[in-house]
Structure 1
Amino acid sequence: MIIDLPATTTSQVNSKLVHLREQGGVNALSRVLTLVIVTDDDARTEEVIDAANDASREHPCRVIMVARGAKKAANRLDAQIRVGGDAGASEVIVLRLYGQLADHGDSCVVPLLLPDAPVVAWWPYDAPAVPASDPIGRLAARRITDAANDRNPLRALDARTKSYTQGDSDLAWARITHWRALLAAALDLPPYDRVTGASVVGDPNSPSADLLAGWLAARLKVPVRRGKSTEGEGIVSAELQRRSGSIELYRPDGRIGTLTQPGQPPRRVALARRPVAECIAEELRRLDADEIYSSALTGLSKVTRGRVAHKSRSGS
């Protein structure tokens, strides 16, 4: 069910929510958090709401979408409430703000927050320079950005490094969870030689490739080189160098990876690029500070850039 409330107020939106609840169409008591999504790109609102709805099946929540419209327009708040099949396992409130209201989304959000429930803020596209200082960011226990969707992904990742505050995270980090798991598991198998160096190769503008390199530099405390590749999008390969032979995870097609290591036959592993809904669901599983993400950001300063030489991969 979709209910439109043009030229409305937050008080009227709240009254409509209470009315729906009394009718039995909405059960706010089952919501575990409030997810506030902020965007200036109204054309892509639906795909962001779809991702939030998919994530809500694991984390039932109230989703408040703040879509900032033209600032030169007259002050106006248009709202939309979605429940039932149009809202996944959540209830969705879309707020379209025009005029001076576009700069005061926090004042429109506060009356609609679930009581005694944590708040998570998500900027799916261009995020503020310092999310923790943003008016909506100050309301949130967790602040999620997505450097990959910024106009300049690597510059955005550099800004995240400089502005990091406990509670910050980025979907570029969630996209490398499977890479980190496979590389860590490979080190649990013999031979147990010390890693002497590492490299990550990927798209020149991939913040996920940079974060993987930063994570390796921070956790292994070895030289790490970040190379460029034109073979595929995102991360193409990661290599851990050891005296007995390297561990290498190679994924040129964005779907299937090949893991090679000494004393083991090559293994094909599922390593498809993760959809946004899966990444945002992972981020919503924890509301405390992500210290490993913080250390990966710190590790970026220890990563060198340049060409990475690889052995032949024929037959892999």
Structure 2
Amino acid sequence: MVKDNAQSVGLHLPWAGKSVRIENVEEELSHLWRMSADNVRTSHNINVRTSVLNLVICAQDVESAQRATRILRDLSSTHIARVTLLILDSSSTSSNISAWVTLRSFPIISDMMRHHFEQITIHLSGTAMYAAAQIIQPLLKPDLPVYLWWLDDLLDENTIFNRLVSTSSRVMIDSSRFFTPEQSIQTLPQLIEACPSCAFSDLNWGRITPWRELIAQFFDVVAYKPYLAGVTSVEIEHAVAPIAEPTRTEQGFVSPNPTQALLLAAWLQTRLGWKLSNEGEQDEHDPESGEHFWHMIRTGPLGTRPLGQTGRLGKIKRGNLYIRPRVQLDLQPGSICLIRMVSTIDDKNAIFTINREADSENVLTSVEMAGETRPQRTVSIAATHKESELLHDELEIMGRDHVYEQMLQEVFELLSLQ
């Protein structure tokens, strides 16, 4: 039996609004809108109510849920009609449902005009968690797309996740929060294949977009373009905390977590025309530290997007692909710290480097060539780690990201031979 526990002593979420019974959610929201309209008539503000999408946020504890509400506070999107914040409490065996409702608002254009949307918070425990999709279905705005934002790691068994996905148009994850990153990211290709009508995305894929653009810019230079075909080594370093065992920060990020590095490595591998060597060399994998090494070969044409237009076939060329952890106290765990590409063409060497040291807002790009010193360039990447901006970008996207899905498959293949 599932118990409506909204009035239970000890379960207080003041930030979630007014505690209500689940069957009274719509009635209480209507009351809040009427109160808001009365307030407008006695003030100079203009309330804006939009209805573009449903946003379902799923957290596995109260702390994660509260972090999500803070991110929404900074969100510049005006698309949200209703937020349903699900808290799945696996620490309790008793089946309970608790609900809260509130109206939230953000300034648009000026403080005189405010955008309002509804927030419903639902706390589920015990077997009630497995009915999450059915519980929220009547609370969704009809005829609007449903965006599911899954905040934490995937569960050991994905029944709840799969049921929520089946009701969603878009699914957004953040693999930087995976506590077992290599294991969890390998499950995603199968989940995507099982849900062809749902578009998946990852905030970590957005975080590495500026890095992909900077790499492409190296080879936009005519003098450097030939070196794309001669790359023999790629090194990627990701930030970790100075603690030997896996840990989660106060912001919910996990160290070590090489998922950004893995996605970037997969993207570079495809653009360089590299494949895993099957000639018996021993690759190295250490999930506990986030360190990986692969022997690669290239026998086909180079990828043409976005690293240039050369499609020339080359001889079999060997390469090495490294992912390493770097202790970096000032960076979010998992953030890319370094990309170094070594290339040789006609016995001439070139090293292309993007390095991020103590300054989390900027990177230094450099090119080293024999007999030449090229000036370093400082580039800002400040926007790559602000979650509200990453989330805003995801809310603008309706369709599937086929490049991201391809990279997940490449990561799966890189890790499946461990």
TM range (shorter): 0.7 to 0.9
Rate the CA distance shift 1:2–1:125 in 2: closer, same or farther, 3 A.
closer
**5+ long unaligned stretches in structure 1:** 305-316
Is the contact between residue 79 and residue 95 of structure 1 (CA under 8 Å) also seen in structure 2? yes
Give the residue type in structure 2 aligned to 1:151: F
Whole-angstrom distance in 2 between the partners of 1:124 and 1:133: 11
More displaced, 38-47 or 269-278? 269-278
Aligned to 1:90, what secondary structure does the other structure show? strand
Change (3 A) 1:303 1:201: farther
Matched, 1:169 2:274: no
Q: Is the Cα–Cα contact under 8 Å of residues 137 and 143 in structure 1 kept in the other structure?
A: yes
Inter-partner Cα distance in structure 1 for 2:220 and 2:366? 14
Distance in 2 separating the partners of 1:88 and 1:51:
16
Instruction: Evaluate the alpha carbon distance shift between residue 65 and residue 301 of structure 1 in structure 2; reply closer, same or farther with a 3 A threshold.
Output: closer
| Aligned-partner SS, 1:136 | helix
Q: In structure 2, which of residues 358, 378, 389 is the aligned counterpart of residue 268 of structure 1?
A: 378
The corresponding residue for 1:196 is 230
Q: Does 1:106 align with 2:133?
A: yes
Deviation at 1:85, TM superposition (A): 5.7
| Partner of residue 390, structure 2 | 279
CA distance in structure 2 between the aligned counterparts of 1:298 and 1:31, rounded to whole angstroms: 35
Q: Which moved more, 1:232-241 or 1:130-139?
A: 130-139
Q: CA deviation at 1:293?
A: 0.6
Paired with 2:93 and 2:414, the residues of 1 have a C-alpha distance of 45
1:41 aligns with 2:73: no
- Whether the aligned pair in 2 keeps the contact of 1:124 and 1:149 (CA below 8 Å) is yes
**Contact 1:32–1:59, Cα closer than 8 Å, also in 2:** yes
Instruction: Check 1:76–1:157 CA distance in 2 against 1; reply closer, same or farther (3 A cut).
Output: closer
CA RMSD of aligned residues (A): 3.0
1:247 Cα deviation from its structure 2 partner: 2.2
- Does the Cα contact within 8 Å between 2:64 and 2:151 map onto a contact in 1? no
Q: 1:41 to 1:287 in 2, by over 3 A?
A: same
Matching of residues 16-95 of structure 1 within 5 Å: 16-25=28-37, 30-57=50-77, 59-69=79-89, 71-84=92-105, 90-95=117-122
Greater per-residue helix proportion: 1
Deviations 1:51-73 (A, max 9, x none): 13323535434211001235423
Counterpart-to-counterpart distance in 2, 1:179 and 1:284: 22
* Residue correspondences, number: 302
- Tell whether the 8 Å contact from 1:126 to 1:151 is kept in structure 2 after alignment: yes
Give a deviation string over 1:72-117, Cα, whole Å, max 9, x none: 2353322232323699753321111234322211122111212221
Correspondence list, 1:197-216, <5 A: 197=231, 198-203=234-239, 205-216=257-268
Residues 226 and 45 of structure 1, relative CA distance in 2, 3 Å threshold: same
Matched letter for residue 237 of structure 2: V
Q: Tell me, in whole angstroms, the C-alpha distance in 2 between the residues paired with 1:43 and 1:67.
A: 10
Which residue of the other structure, out of 176, 179, 184, is the alignment partner of 1:151?
A: 179
Identity %: 23
| Alpha-carbon contact 2:85-2:121 (below 8 Å) kept | yes
Change (3 A) 1:59 1:274: farther
Question: AA paired with 1:249?
Answer: I
* Deviates further, 119-128 or 49-58: 49-58
Structure 1 residues 145-175: Cα deviation after superposition (integer angstroms, max 9, x where no partner): 2222122122212222443345122222121
**As a proportion of its length, which structure holds more strand?**
2
TM-aligned CA deviation for residue 133 of structure 1: 6.3
Match of 2:162 in 1: 134
List gaps (5 residues or longer) in structure 2.
1-14, 41-46, 108-113, 240-255, 275-295, 297-319
Normalising by structure 1, we get a TM-score of 0.83
**Kept in 1: contact 2:362–2:378 (CA 8 A):** yes
